[in-house]
Amino acid sequence: MRTRVFVFVALLCTIWNDRLLSQVKTRAERTNYVETSRYEDVVTFLNALAKGSPLVHSTTFGYTFEGRPLPLAVVGRVRNATAQAVRSSGKLRVYIQANIHAGEVEGKEAAQMLVRDIASGKHPQWLDSMILLIAPIFNADGNERVSLTNRGPQNGPIGGMGIRANAQGLNINRDNMKLDTPEARSMVKLLNDYDPHIMIDLHTTDGSRHAYHLTWEIPNNPSADPNITRFARNDWMSAVTDVIQKKYGWALHSYGDVEGQLPERVWRTVEDLPRYTHNYWGLRNRFGILSETYSYLTFEERTTTVSRFLEEILNFAQSSASRIRKLTEDADIRSLVGEKLSLRSGFKRSDKKQEILMGETTEEINPFSGQTMLRRLDVRKPEQMWLETTFESTESERVPSAYYIPASLTAAIECLRAHGIRLERLDQPAMLSLEEFRIDSTQVASQTFERHQERTATGQYGPVERTLPAGTYRVLMKQPLARLAFYLIEPRSNDGLLTWNVLDDALNNSQTYPILRTHN
Ligand SMILES: [Zn+2]
């Protein structure tokens, strides 16, 4: 009898607590979607949930340029927020990142609401197989630079939103290889510490007036593991697209902007460069998902849209948890040595035209700024277009067994280490048969991009015998991050150390590339 009373009281307490937690509101909800959450709102919100629920642990994972600690909610049946506790749980780890572009704010609201949903008892089955790592406000400095006019025709929040760049004026979503921002470095450190299997990056579209509520992208650089990308595209995204169409009647599609002139228009995705977050995650043998909510839905509709997308992504992840984990583990273990891997690529056009749903908008006035915004109309205008949604390699190299880096290249060594790539130091001189890249020409781009003039070099490898001094660093390519190491180190890479001027001093007046490789 006493046990029964106890169980009953405990149940009542849980229901009461769940109800209390469901009353914790985001700033967007409190202002009826006129405003989006500021940094302090997010911190207060996550702390309130962490206080009320043992399923939520509130921590931080690094710093912005202006020194704001980056909030992270660790959500699941885990004893604390440390990477060690999360990894030793053996569960699937899912990282959800919002607000990298701080005018694209609905992901930040949906991410907070997701934490609250779980804290107040929703989706308990997810926690059987998963732990979520939720970073609602990644570009926190940009988020605080609110203006009513920041995102032009985007449909709200009419009380203003932050900016695209971080406080250095850099786009964090182009920084994943060079790591010039503390935000990207913080994220990479989180990946090295927690090693999530799935990463999701939440954005809002910028351009085309199509009829899709949301467009998605997966890593599509040809150097990414094909088993992972095939499963992500053909199984996962197609299942999520179908279920959202069935449940809500909304169309989703892989990401694209409309290019060219009628009747030969093209639906073209974003570049496949790993400077973009989702592509970077792919080069780390992980599932990266880019989510782009349609800009001309209202702020509240966008928040609902991305919430539902996340819900279906997580439903699928939960039902396929062991498959997803296995695919990432297999990719980590499989040796790439001797295989050809892509360094440059181009769009692969579809064999025939396919249907794309174009949309229409009407104009609305933001009552506070007086500026024109666009509002989605519920119209679908099918158009046959070429698809350029995948890439094919135009240049590749055979993956060596090791690279050798002179100890003097301190910036290159630091960058590789920050990415989590394993390096070892030769403790005595070594006589080796190597390959050296002989430079025919090298140029920098005439235009500055993200404070760099991107460099390219042409040339070819030739054999050399060398005695390398003690202190030289060796990167063995039988390691989980071999794809990333390859893409950073190879001189012909379109997004590597050479591209981002890390090796400019060493290349000055030199006929050869300073990093050597061996196939032995
Ligand atoms: Zn964006």
pLDDT tens digit sequence for 71-119: 999 999 999 999 999 999 999 999 999 999 999 999 999 999 999 999 9
Measured in angstroms, how far is the CA atom of residue 200 from the centroid of ligand 1? 13
Cα 179 to Cα 480: distance, rounded to the nearest angstrom: 20
Measured in angstroms, how far is the CA atom of residue 247 from the centroid of ligand 1? 27
Measured in angstroms, how far is the CA atom of residue 196 from the centroid of ligand 1? 22
pLDDT at 501: 98
Name the nearest CA neighbour of 10 among 516, 462, 18, 345: 18
Measured in angstroms, how far is the CA atom of residue 188 from the centroid of ligand 1? 19
CB atoms within 5 A of ion ligand 1 belong to 101, 104, 203
Least confident of 139-143, 347-351, 508-512: 508-512
pLDDT at 350: 98
Measured in angstroms, how far is the CA atom of residue 205 from the centroid of ligand 1? 7
The angle formed by the CA atoms of residues 275, 423 and 438, to the nearest 5 degrees, is 70
pLDDT tens digit sequence for 488-512: 999 999 999 999 999 999 999 899 9
Cα 514 to Cα 404: distance, rounded to the nearest angstrom: 9
pLDDT tens digit sequence for 458-476: 999 999 999 999 999 999 9
Cβ contacts of residue 331 below 8 Å, gap of 6+?
225, 227, 228, 285
pLDDT at 1: 55
Q: Report percent pLDDT > 90 for the chain.
A: 95
pLDDT tens digit sequence for 323-343: 999 999 999 999 999 999 999
Measured in angstroms, how far is the CA atom of residue 98 from the centroid of ligand 1? 10
Q: Report percent pLDDT > 70 for the chain.
A: 99
Measured in angstroms, how far is the CA atom of residue 331 from the centroid of ligand 1? 28
Measured in angstroms, how far is the CA atom of residue 173 from the centroid of ligand 1? 8
Cα 53 to Cα 56: distance, rounded to the nearest angstrom: 6
H or E stretch including 113? helix 106-119
Say whether 264 sits in a helix, a strand or coil. Answer: coil
Measured in angstroms, how far is the CA atom of residue 63 from the centroid of ligand 1? 20
pLDDT at 19: 80
Least confident of 12-16, 256-260, 410-414, 502-506: 12-16
Measured in angstroms, how far is the CA atom of residue 61 from the centroid of ligand 1? 21
Mean pLDDT, the chain, rounded, equals 96
Measured in angstroms, how far is the CA atom of residue 39 from the centroid of ligand 1? 19
Measured in angstroms, how far is the CA atom of residue 100 from the centroid of ligand 1? 7
pLDDT at 15: 77
pLDDT tens digit sequence for 358-402: 999 999 999 999 999 999 999 999 999 999 999 999 999 999 999
Measured in angstroms, how far is the CA atom of residue 75 from the centroid of ligand 1? 25
More confident residue, 7 or 231: 231
Confidence band, pLDDT 50/70/90 cuts, at residue 441: very high
Measured in angstroms, how far is the CA atom of residue 209 from the centroid of ligand 1? 16
Contact status, residue 385 vs residue 260, Cβ threshold 8 Å: no
pLDDT at 18: 82
Measured in angstroms, how far is the CA atom of residue 203 from the centroid of ligand 1? 4
Measured in angstroms, how far is the CA atom of residue 136 from the centroid of ligand 1? 14
Q: Where are the beta strands (DSSP E) in 366-419?
A: 372-388, 390-398, 402-405
Measured in angstroms, how far is the CA atom of residue 191 from the centroid of ligand 1? 21
pLDDT tens digit sequence for 48-75: 999 999 999 999 999 999 999 999 999 9
pLDDT at 16: 73
What is the end-to-end Cα distance of the chain in Å, rounded?
74
Measured in angstroms, how far is the CA atom of residue 106 from the centroid of ligand 1? 11
Average pLDDT over residues 436-459: 97
Cα 211 to Cα 382: distance, rounded to the nearest angstrom: 9
pLDDT at residue 9 greater than cutoff 90 = no
pLDDT tens digit sequence for 156-214: 999 999 999 999 999 999 999 999 999 999 999 999 999 999 999 999 998 789 999 99
pLDDT at residue 3 greater than cutoff 70 = no
Measured in angstroms, how far is the CA atom of residue 101 from the centroid of ligand 1? 5
Measured in angstroms, how far is the CA atom of residue 519 from the centroid of ligand 1? 40
Average pLDDT over residues 288-304: 98
Confidence band, pLDDT 50/70/90 cuts, at residue 2: low
- Residue 374, both tokens: 């666009």
